[in-house]
Structure 1
Amino acid sequence: MSTPTRILLLDDHSLFRESLVRLLESEPDFRVVAHCATVSAAIDVLQRTPIDVVLLDYDLGEERGTDLLRQLHACKSSPRVLMVTAGISERTTLDILNAGVAGVLFKHSNPTQLVDAIRKIAQGEMWLDGGIVRSLVSGVKDRGAETRNTRPLTSRQQEVLSGILDGLTNKEIAWNLKVSESSIKAVIQELFQKAGVRTRSQLVRIAIEKHAGDWLSNDKKLG
């Protein structure tokens, strides 16, 4: 039997935490290690206990979820973070992607989406709601942000980037494009080099913020 995904939940609303814990513990492959309301309490857990995925609210009353992100490097474990929020601005979304958040999910989303998001993130993938991506791209284009046209993408690189923005795994992208998963991994490394990044979340942020007018201009799903 595989090891359950170890989850830490950080949210300042106790009723939401308790209901979410009940939902997550009904899944046999999840184990809620702890849930807390403050950044300091979360850091204390992370320094003592291995955690795979942190479910993090952005608005923690007097604190912000980004306060935890800045302190994660000092923890023994290196969990992946899913921001579960009632809503955040486009600027904040881009900033937390750059900080390494592996996904963003709205609190009003279907519980099935949350479960799917946790599983994908635990496997090293990303989760971004399609509405979030479309909103970010539209906002950047509406502002007429300057794009960098010096390093255009090949058609294959655009296809793979589109798959990443759709929240697909490497295996799913490979199946859609009828190529091997190793080929997809190679293309993703090419994208990392062109964007000057090291993670998928940073790639998404750069693609949206800096290249919406060229790298994403041919993506029909995001237009």
Structure 2
Amino acid sequence: MTAPISVAVVDDHTLLRGALCDMINLEPDIGVIVDAPSTRTALSKVAAQRPDVVILDVEIPGEDVRESIRAINTASPDSSVLIVTMYEDLNLVQDLLDLGISGYLHKSASREALLSAIRGRTDGTGQVVVHMSRRIVPMRERVDGPPVPAGPLTAREREVLGCVAEALSNRQIAGKLGISEGTVKRHLRRIFDKLDAVSRLDAVNRATAARMISPRTSRLG
């Protein structure tokens, strides 16, 4: 039998958090192992139990969601962070995507959309999905307009891609940069999405052509 997908739910609204936990626990392959009103109170449990997915609200009093995500990434690097909130701001969405979240869902999203987002973060095939109140959109599409290119690579993404260009494996990259292999994989997914790349070599070639990394770095191909 496949091990259940473990989930942490962090939301300061007690009734909503309880309803969300109850809904998730009805699924045979998903279970809530951490239930907390704030990141501050959840962090030690997240660090100890290392859930597969952390569901996090944006507007928790006294907390900055960016710092909360950084703290979760440090405490449990292999946990995917899924934002579920009533708050909508495209600039914030992009900021949080740059921090490596696995998805951003408005609380009007369907039960099926939420469960799909949770399951998609553990099977290795899930794509980052943004669900705003009007419709679900791909990561690089604006709610009120056509698809637009994703932003440039972050400094960390350039570091990761530079290591890829040196023909390092994910494990070697993780060791060199002091991060987990799961974090390396998340960075690579973001790099591939931003560059429309289909392989590691393709990503390196595209980044080199765009002068995002030095051509002297590459040992691939």
Q: Does 1:187 align with 2:198?
A: yes
Report what 1:24 is aligned to: 24
Q: Distance in 1 between matches of 2:23 and 2:207?
A: 38
Matched AA of 2:57: D
Q: Does 1:111 align with 2:111?
A: yes
Matched AA of 1:44: S
CA contact (8 A) 2:129 2:137 kept: no
CA contact (8 A) 1:7 1:33 kept: yes
Which of 142, 145, 155 aligns to 1:135? It is 142
CA contact (8 A) 2:130 2:137 kept: yes
Report what 1:7 is aligned to: 7
Matched AA of 2:198: V
CA contact (8 A) 1:103 1:121 kept: no
Q: Distance in 2 between matches of 1:190 and 1:95?
A: 27
**Pairwise mapping of residues 49-60 of structure 1 onto structure 2 (< 5 A)?**
49-60=49-60
Could you list the runs of 5+ residues in structure 2 that have no partner in the other structure? Answer: 153-196, 209-221
Report what 1:211 is aligned to: none
Deviations 1:21-70 (A, max 9, x none): 11000000001001111111121111211210001111112213222211
CA contact (8 A) 2:102 2:121 kept: yes
Q: Cα offset for 1:88?
A: 2.5
3-state SS in 2 of match to 1:54: strand
Cα pair distance change 1:114/1:189, threshold 3 Å: same
Report what 2:121 is aligned to: 121
3-state SS in 2 of match to 1:187: coil
3-state SS in 2 of match to 1:123: coil
Cα pair distance change 1:3/1:140, threshold 3 Å: closer
Q: Distance in 1 between matches of 2:67 and 2:91?
A: 16
CA contact (8 A) 1:58 1:65 kept: yes
Matched AA of 2:130: L
3-state SS in 2 of match to 1:138: coil
Identity of aligned residues (%): 25
TM-score normalised to structure 2 length: 0.62
Cα pair distance change 1:19/1:73, threshold 3 Å: closer
Counting matched residue pairs gives 156
CA contact (8 A) 1:10 1:35 kept: yes
CA contact (8 A) 2:105 2:130 kept: yes
Q: Distance in 2 between matches of 1:34 and 1:42?
A: 7
Cα pair distance change 1:32/1:95, threshold 3 Å: same
Could you list the runs of 5+ residues in structure 1 that have no partner in the other structure? Answer: 149-185, 197-223
CA contact (8 A) 1:51 1:77 kept: no
Cα pair distance change 1:80/1:120, threshold 3 Å: same
Q: Distance in 2 between matches of 1:9 and 1:31?
A: 10
What is the root-mean-square deviation of aligned Cα atoms in Å? 2.9
Report what 1:79 is aligned to: 79
Q: Cα offset for 1:74?
A: 2.8
CA contact (8 A) 2:129 2:136 kept: no
CA contact (8 A) 1:47 1:77 kept: no
